[in-house]
């Protein structure tokens, strides 16, 4: 079975790799947004040095990590949920359901492949552009890079699990767009895509840092910046892994309920 899902993941990687122009356009967009956000952050950190415990160089690194991970961890959309919702809406999901494979594991594998491609295709380039322009903080060494990569993998898993639950709602709602938009807004705000969650004041900050969206960007960025060491790092991973397990289980429960009542659309 592992070989099957490895093949699915490889397919997920390659199908996104066929769209080179889209990748180039994505790199360009991420770089432009990165530059715009960088100047915003520079202005902000000039006024309030060490805001959220970040130095100016840390804050700039945070901006570019956000741009690099945008599609990898699915802060503003997982990159697969629209396709899955469309398959549910049109009834094409029937084809997925009769296969001798688990629906969630199938989509998870495909999404892992997609994330891996996005990391290489749309992650590395904007990060390099950003560093050449702003010379932000880099991880201390190869070990920190590796620790960062683990956090990104976990973040990407949480991202998948979140968007999978959202997509499953289409079995009941038929048009999943409303839920997608709510989830999009939630992701934008609570992932720390606009401002680091460290900057959020009081109870709002406490809540935001405890929600699953914190796994997508805030935790990987802090791992990158070396804010977690030793047991602290293990705790950060446990936070991400915990949310991943909870949300994957939730997705599985919703999937089971959906396929029990499933009304596959169309003659």
Partner 1 sequence: MASRIEPFIELENLEKVFTVRRKAAGLLRREKKEVRAVDGISFAVERGEMVGYIGPNGAGKSTTIKMLTGILTPSGGRLRVAGIDPARERTRLAQRIGVVFGQRTTLWWDLPLKDSYRLMHRMYRIPDARFRENLDRCVELLELGELLDVPVRQLSLGQRMRGDIAAALLHDPEVLYLDEPTIGLDVVSKARVREFLSHLNTTQGTTVLLTTHDLTDIEQLCSRVMVIDHGRLMYDGKLTGLHAVGESERLLVVDLERELPPIDVPGARFVRSEGPRQWLAFPATASAAPLVAEVAAAYPLIDLSVREPDIETVIAKMYGGTRDERRESLM
Can you give the binding site for partner 1, defined by CB under 8 A?
Answer: 3-4, 7-8, 11, 14-15, 18-19, 91-92, 94-95, 97-101, 259-260, 262-264, 266-267
Tell me how far, at minimum, the Cβ of 15 lies from partner 1, in Å: 4
Cα dihedral across residues 165, 168, 174, 177: positive or negative: positive
Nearer to partner 1, 201 or 267 (CB): 267
Nearer to partner 1, 76 or 94 (CB): 94
Q: What is the DSSP string of 191-211?
A: TTSSS-GGGS-HHHHHHHHHS
Tell me how far, at minimum, the Cβ of 27 lies from partner 1, in Å: 20
Nearer to partner 1, 188 or 262 (CB): 262
Query: What's the CA gap between 66 and 70, in Å, rounded?
Result: 6
Tell me how far, at minimum, the Cβ of 248 lies from partner 1, in Å: 20
Query: What's the CA gap between 74 and 60, in Å, rounded?
Result: 20
Tell me how far, at minimum, the Cβ of 267 lies from partner 1, in Å: 5
212 secondary structure, DSSP code: G
Nearer to partner 1, 1 or 132 (CB): 1
Nearer to partner 1, 14 or 48 (CB): 14
Query: What's the CA gap between 20 and 56, in Å, rounded?
Result: 34
On whether the CB atoms of residues 196 and 205 are closer than 8 A, the answer is: no
Tell me how far, at minimum, the Cβ of 25 lies from partner 1, in Å: 17
Query: What's the CA gap between 48 and 264, in Å, rounded?
Result: 55
Query: What's the CA gap between 77 and 26, in Å, rounded?
Result: 14
Q: Tokens for 127, please give them.
A: 């990060």
Tell me how far, at minimum, the Cβ of 184 lies from partner 1, in Å: 24
Nearer to partner 1, 3 or 47 (CB): 3
Query: What's the CA gap between 46 and 236, in Å, rounded?
Result: 29
């Amino acid at each position: 079975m592992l070989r099957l899902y490895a093949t699915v993941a490889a397919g997920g990687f390659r199908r996104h790799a066929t769209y080179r122009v889209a990748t180039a356009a994505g790199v360009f967009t991420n770089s432009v947004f990165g530059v715009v956000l960088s100047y915003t952050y520079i202005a902000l950190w000039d006024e309030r040095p060490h805001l959220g415990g970040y130095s100016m160089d840390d804050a700039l690194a945070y901006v570019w990590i956000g741009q690099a991970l945008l599609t990898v961890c699915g802060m503003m959309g997982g990159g697969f949920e629209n396709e899955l919702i469309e398959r549910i809406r049109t009834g094409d999901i029937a084809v997925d359901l009769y296969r001798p494979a688990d629906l969630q594991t199938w989509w998870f594998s495909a999404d892992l492949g997609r994330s891996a491609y996005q990391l290489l295709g749309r992650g590395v380039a904007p990060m390099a552009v950003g560093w050449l322009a702003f010379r932000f903080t880099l991880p201390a060494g190869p070990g920190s890079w590796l620790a960062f990569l683990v956090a990104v993998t976990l973040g990407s898993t949480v991202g998948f699990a979140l968007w999978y639950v959202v997509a499953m709602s289409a079995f009941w709602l038929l048009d999943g767009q409303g839920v997608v938009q709510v989830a999009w807004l939630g992701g934008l705000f609570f992932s720390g895509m606009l401002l680091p969650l460290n900057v959020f004041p009081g109870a709002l900050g406490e809540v935001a840092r405890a929600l699953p969206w914190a796994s997508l960007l805030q935790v990987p960025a802090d791992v990158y910046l070396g804010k977690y060491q030793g047991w602290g790092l293990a705790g950060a991973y446990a936070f991400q892994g915990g949310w991943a397990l909870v949300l994957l289980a939730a997705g599985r429960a919703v999937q089971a309920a959906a396929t029990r009542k499933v009304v596959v659309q169309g003659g």
